Amino acid sequence: KTKKHMETTKNFSASRALTTFIKPITTKTAQAEGAICLFIAAHSSVLSCDHLGELCKNCFKSSEAADSMKLHRTKCTGIICNVLAPHFQNELKNKINNGPYSILIDESTDISVLKFLGITIMYFDTSIKRVTSTYLSLVEMESCDAETLVN
């Protein structure tokens, strides 16, 4: 082992905490990423997220939130599935509470012969004083006979 080898390996032998490699994001950046993910979920495809994040960086160069934003498909999908979806499911549970509701189901087969069961819920929304229907879930089915639907 030469002196040069010892000096080079010294940098790699010291363990550093993972937090030294990760830069924490600001609240403004997190809010901006969440807002964009919500927009994508409601109006677009997650595939367009890669380009939208870069567009925000280029258009809003003076914005610290846009500049530090790192939002692509994987992160956007994670935010939608693990942050936004549970939030809105809890909000829906609180709105329905113990009130009456109806479940509407519809089976669909797509072009690749996958079967899906779309589930919608109708309930009386006390905040707007009217009956509201909203998407609840989309479940992939193996078959669409009555026994499978019940189980």
58-82 pLDDT, tens digit per residue, is: 888 888 888 888 889 999 999 999 9
- What is the token pair recorded at 69? 């934003």
Distance CA 93, CA 34 (A): 22
144: amino acid identity, one letter: C
H/E stretch holding 124 reads strand 115-125
Least confident of 23-27, 92-96, 112-116: 23-27
Distance CA 76, CA 35 (A): 10
Q: Does 72 share its domain with 112? A: no
Model pTM? 0.71
H/E stretch holding 79 reads helix 73-79
Provide the number of structural domains found in the chain: 2
Least confident of 82-86, 94-98, 143-147: 143-147
Question: What digits encode the pLDDT tens for the residues 13-52?
Answer: 666 666 666 677 788 889 999 999 999 999 988 888 888 8
Boundary (domain end) residue, out of 88, 112, 135: 88
Whole domain around residue 108: which residue ranges? 97-151
Boundary (domain end) residue, out of 44, 65, 88: 88
Boundary (domain end) residue, out of 88, 112, 133: 88
Q: Does 40 share its domain with 73? A: yes
- Cβ neighbours around 49 below 10 Å, total: 24
